[in-house]
Structure formats: C-alpha cells, structure tokens
Amino acid sequence: MDKERLLSTIAVLFGGRIAEEVFMHQMTTGASNDFERATEMARRMVTQWGMSDALGPMVYGENEGEVFLGRSITTHKNVSEATMQKVDTEIRRIVDEQYARARKIIEDNRDKIEAMTKALLEWETIDAEQIDDIMDGRSPRPPHPPSTQPKPPGDNKPSAPAPTIEPAQEA
C-alpha cells in the first residue's frame, strides 16, 4: 500500500468513534480495536516502512526470536531513547492528523449521514443509486422492487403436500 492509502485507512478507522462523539455525544469501548489497528499502522509507517518525513527511510527497532503469548522474546534496540521519543512523537502526529481529518469529513457531511440514516430506517437497505442521490444533495429515490427471477426449467412442479398426522384412535 502507498502512504496516502495507509493514511486514509487510519482516518477511516477513527470514523466509528467520531460518529459516536458527533451524533451520540458519548464514547463507548467499541472503537478499541480500531485504535489498536490505527496506532499499529502508524507505528509501522514510521518504524518499518520509512514513511516519515521527520525520521526518513530507516528501520527503527528489530524484533527477533519466537513469539510467545503474543510478545517477542527478544527485542534488539538499535536506537537511542531520544530517537524513540521522536518516533513516538511522529506516530502521535500521524494519528492526530488522521483523527482530525476524519472528524472534518464527518462534520462537513453530517447532513448526508443523517439522510442515509433516515433512508436506512425507512427502507432497511439502500443501494448505490440512493447513496449517489444523497451525496449529490438530492432525496434518495425509492428502492427498486425486488426482481422476480423466472424459475429454471424443470423447477415448475408443485411441491409435495406436507404430511398429515392422523389422531390416535382410542381402543
């Protein structure tokens, strides 16, 4: 993935939490995994993939050895404490910028999100044409009626009647 795609992915991961804040005026624990994923992606951009202008194309920290209970047994630190602080600062910058980017997108499109919510409450599902209507500032058209597919040849025989159970007769 390229850098812009990674940054966009991080912003998307924050969408759920920001929607909670903007529309429900609260925060829940539901976004915890999204935060982990976003932070890990930003960390890898900085420490493994050289996608930081501040720190350049270099790998910061190497893990070696077997994984036990989700943790590396040995970690070789090949960077100073001061450099690790710069790494943390850069990760924080990426996370904060993408969080702000996602918040701006949601706030700038609040009316569209509310229109989609209304359409979903009314029709339960919406299709691409309805989303296009909403994104273009129009009311969404009603959903298409479900298509009735003709049955394949040989599938037109009536189904067998359900078996009936005779009541037991007393002797």
Task: Give percent of the chain above pLDDT 90.
Answer: 56
Which residue is associated with the tokens 């940054």?
A: 7
Query: Is residue 73 very low, low, confident or very high in pLDDT (cuts 50, 70, 90)?
Result: very low
Query: Measured between alpha carbons, how far is 24 from 26 in angstroms, rounded to an integer?
Result: 5
Query: Measured between alpha carbons, how far is 90 from 98 in angstroms, rounded to an integer?
Result: 12
**Range with the poorest average pLDDT among 58-62, 125-129, 148-152:** 148-152
Check: CB of residue 41 under 8 Å from CB of residue 10.
yes
pLDDT tens sequence across 80-131: 888 899 999 999 999 999 999 999 999 999 999 999 999 999 998 899 999 9
The H or E element spanning position 67 is strand 62-68
Give the domain ranges of the chain.
3-108, 110-143
For residue 167, the SS3 value is coil
Query: Measured between alpha carbons, how far is 99 from 86 in angstroms, rounded to an integer?
Result: 20
Task: Provide the pLDDT for residue 143.
Answer: 83
**Is domain 3-108 given the CATH code 2.20.70.10 in the classification?**
no
pLDDT tens sequence across 23-34: 989 988 888 899
Instruction: Provide the 10 A C-beta neighbour count for residue 106.
Output: 18
User: Mean pLDDT over residues 7-14, rounded?
Assistant: 97
Report yes or no on whether pTM surpasses 0.85.
no
